[in-house]
Chain A
Amino acid sequence: MSAVETAPPKIRVRNLRKRFGRNVVLDGLDLDVDVGESVLVIGGSGSGKSVLLKCILGLLEPEEGVIEVDGAPVIGLPAADREAVNRKFGMLFQGGALFDSLRVWENVAFGLVQGENMGRMQAKDIAIAKLAAVGLSANVGELWPAELSGGMKKRVGLARAIATEPEIIFFDEPTTGLDPIMADVINDLIVKCVRELGATALSITHDMASARKIADRIAMLYKGEIIWNGPTSEIDRSGNDFVDQFIHGRAEGPIRMEVRAS
C-alpha cells in the first residue's frame, strides 16, 4: 500500500462488456476520467460510444465489468441509490431531448423542481439565469421546444445540463447537425460552462474540431476497446494508424467500414 493515498478517478470503467444479441459492442473497455478533467471519446458510427455513455448513466446494464463514480460501484444499484448518483450528473443529449409538453424554462428547471424539490418560482429564476449563461433571453424561456431552432435546442439542453450544477457533465455529439459557426458557439459554451462549474466532463463525438476544442484528453474507441488514449495536444502525433485515419477522415487505412452489399 502506498504511503500517499491518491483520490480515485471521478469515473472509473474497467473491463466493460456489453452486447446486443450476437453483436458485441463493448469488449473489455477500460477508461478513467479524473476530477476536473474533460475527456472525449472518439470513434466511428456504431463503435459503441453512446452505449458507453448509457452504461455509465445507468440507462443500459452491461453484462460484465465495473463502473465506479467517486470510487463507488454504480452498476446494479437500487433505484433510489441510482437516482442519488444521477444527481451528480448533467447530460446534453444529441437531439436535445427537451420535453415537448413543457415550456423551455420548465425544461431547464426540471432537475431543480423534480430532483431537488425546489419551488417553481425559485427554480424559474435559476432557469432564466442559466438560459442567460448560454446566450438566450428570458423570452425564450416562455417558448415551447417545438418553436426552437436546432442551435437553440442545444443551448437549452446545455442550460438544463448545468442547471443543477452537477459534478459530472456528459455531452453526446454536442455539435451534430449544426452549422460550423453554431457548432463553434456551442463548443465555446461547453468549455465556459464546464470551467465555471469546475465540473468533470465526458463527451463523445466524431467532430474533430469540437474534440480539439473541448477536450483535455481524447480516447479512441474501436471494436469495443479503447485503442488509444492521450492528451489532445498529442493526437496528431499519436503514432496510431487507426487514430490517424480517423482524425484525417481517410477512407483508406486499417479501419474498414462495414458496408452491406445491395
Chain B
Amino acid sequence: MNFLQPIGSAFRGFLESTGRLALFAIVSVSHCVRPPVYPRLIGRQLIDIGYYSLPVVGLTTLFSGMVLALQSYAGLDRAVAESVIPRIVVQSMTRELSPVLTGLMVAGRIGAAMAAEIGTMRVTEQIDALTTLSTNPHKYLIAPRLIAGLTMLPLLVLVGDTIGVFGGYLVSAYKLGFNPAIFLKFTWENVAALDVWSGVVKAACFGFIVALLGCYNGYHSRGGAQGVGAATTNAVVSASILILVSNYLITEMFFGK
C-alpha cells in the first residue's frame, strides 16, 4: 500500500495550500472593506494595472479580432460571410477572447510583477518592517492590488472588446473587401448585453485571481532570489490555470443549458 502514500501526501499538500490561499483571500478581502484606505496606493495600482496594460491588451485583442475575421472567411461562402463574420467576431470577442486573453496577458505582466515586488519585500525584511511600523501588510500591500485588479480588468476587457471588433472590421473592410457599413450594421445587431456582461464578470473574476495569486505567492516566498523567481513562476502559472478553469465555470453559469 506504499504507493498510496505519495498520492495521499500530495492530496493533503494540495488541501493545505488551498486552505492557506482561502484564509489569505479572506483576510485580504476583509481589509479591502475596512478603514483606513490608502487612496494613493490604490491610485498607483489602478494606473499600473489599467493604464500600463493598455498597449499589450490592445495589441493582443486587435490581432485576435483580425485573425478571427480571416479564419472565419476561409470556411464560409462569401455571400454568407458578410453577415456571419461580424457576428462571429463580436460574440467571440465579448464572450471569450477579450476576457481570457486580457486575463492571461495581465497575469503575465501584472501577476509576475506583484509576486516579484512583494517577494523581494519579503526576503529583504521590508514586510517585517511594515509590521514593526504598526502597518498591516494585508491592508497596505495586498488590498490596493486586489481592488485595482477587480476594477481595472473589466475596463480593460471593454477596451479589448472594442479593439478586437475593430481588428475584425479592418480585415473585413480592407482585406476581404466587405462593405464597411454592412459590417458595422451586423456588428451592432449582434451585440448582446448578456455577452458583454458575461465578459465583464469574467474580467472582474480574472482580475481578482491575478492579483490574489500574485500577492499570495510573493507574500509567501522564501530563500532569496531563487525563492522570488519561483514565486513569480507560480503566480503566473497558477493564475493562468485558474483563469481557464473559472472561465469554463462562468461560461457554464451564463450560457450552460
- Please state if A57 and B131 are interface contacts (CB–CB under 8 Å): yes
**Residues 121 to 140 of chain B near chain A (Cβ within 8 Å):** 121, 124-126, 128-129, 131-136, 140
Please, how many angstroms separate the alpha-carbon atoms of A83 and B138 in the complex? Answer: 13
The winner among A94, A97, A101, A170 for most chain B CB atoms within 10 A is A97
Residue A79 at the B interface, CB < 8 A? yes
Of B117, B125, B135, B140, the contact of A93 (CB 8 Å cutoff): B125
**Residues 63 to 93 of chain A near chain B (Cβ within 8 Å):** 79, 83-84, 86-87, 89-91, 93
Give chain B residues whose Cβ lies under 8 Å from the Cβ of A83. Answer: 134-136
Give chain B residues whose Cβ lies under 8 Å from the Cβ of A111. Answer: 133-134
Number of interface residues of B (CB under 8 A): 15
- Please state if A97 and B129 are interface contacts (CB–CB under 8 Å): yes
Give chain A residues whose Cβ lies under 8 Å from the Cβ of B134. Answer: 83-84, 86-87, 111, 114-115
In the complex, how many residue pairs between chain A and chain B have their CB atoms under 8 Å apart? 55
Give chain B residues whose Cβ lies under 8 Å from the Cβ of A97. Answer: 124-126, 128-129
Please, how many angstroms separate the alpha-carbon atoms of A50 and B126 in the complex? Answer: 15
Please, how many angstroms separate the alpha-carbon atoms of A114 and B133 in the complex? Answer: 8
Give chain A residues whose Cβ lies under 8 Å from the Cβ of B135. Answer: 83, 110, 114-115
Please, how many angstroms separate the alpha-carbon atoms of A83 and B140 in the complex? Answer: 14
- Please state if A57 and B125 are interface contacts (CB–CB under 8 Å): no
Please, how many angstroms separate the alpha-carbon atoms of A86 and B133 in the complex? Answer: 7
Residue A59 at the B interface, CB < 8 A? yes
Q: Which residue of B lies closest to A163 (CB)?
A: B133
Please, how many angstroms separate the alpha-carbon atoms of A86 and B132 in the complex? Answer: 6
Q: Which residue of A lies closest to B27 (CB)?
A: A79
Give chain B residues whose Cβ lies under 8 Å from the Cβ of A93. Answer: 125, 128-129
Residue A14 at the B interface, CB < 8 A? no
- Please state if A95 and B125 are interface contacts (CB–CB under 8 Å): yes
Please, how many angstroms separate the alpha-carbon atoms of A115 and B136 in the complex? Answer: 10
Given contacts A97-B124, A114-B140, whether A59 and B131 have CB atoms under 8 Å apart is yes
**Residues 110 to 159 of chain B near chain A (Cβ within 8 Å):** 117, 120-121, 124-126, 128-129, 131-136, 140
Residue A54 at the B interface, CB < 8 A? yes
* Closest Cβ–Cβ distance, residue B110 to chain A (whole Å): 16
Residue A198 at the B interface, CB < 8 A? no
- Please state if B132 and A79 are interface contacts (CB–CB under 8 Å): no
Give chain A residues whose Cβ lies under 8 Å from the Cβ of B132. Answer: 57, 59, 86, 89-91, 170
Q: Which residue of B lies closest to A90 (CB)?
A: B132
Residue A9 at the B interface, CB < 8 A? no
Give chain B residues whose Cβ lies under 8 Å from the Cβ of A98. Answer: 126, 129
Please, how many angstroms separate the alpha-carbon atoms of A65 and B98 in the complex? Answer: 55
Q: Which residue of A lies closest to B133 (CB)?
A: A111
The winner among B124, B129, B140 for most chain A CB atoms within 10 A is B129
- Please state if A115 and B133 are interface contacts (CB–CB under 8 Å): yes
Please, how many angstroms separate the alpha-carbon atoms of A57 and B133 in the complex? Answer: 10
**Residues 54 to 113 of chain B near chain A (Cβ within 8 Å):** none
* Closest Cβ–Cβ distance, residue A82 to chain B (whole Å): 8
- Please state if B131 and A58 are interface contacts (CB–CB under 8 Å): yes
Give chain B residues whose Cβ lies under 8 Å from the Cβ of A87. Answer: 134
Please, how many angstroms separate the alpha-carbon atoms of A86 and B140 in the complex? Answer: 16
Q: A residues within 8 Å of B by Cβ?
A: 54, 57-59, 79, 83-84, 86-87, 89-91, 93-95, 97-101, 110-111, 114-115, 160, 170
User: Could you give 5 example pairs across A and B, Cβ below 8 Å?
Assistant: A89-B132, A101-B117, A111-B134, A114-B134, A170-B132
Known contacts A91-B132, A111-B133; 8 additional CB pairs below 8 A are: A57-B131, A58-B131, A83-B134, A89-B132, A90-B132, A94-B125, A99-B129, A170-B132
Leading 9 A-B pairs by shortest Cβ distance = A97-B129, A115-B134, A97-B125, A83-B134, A91-B132, A111-B133, A114-B135, A86-B134, A93-B125
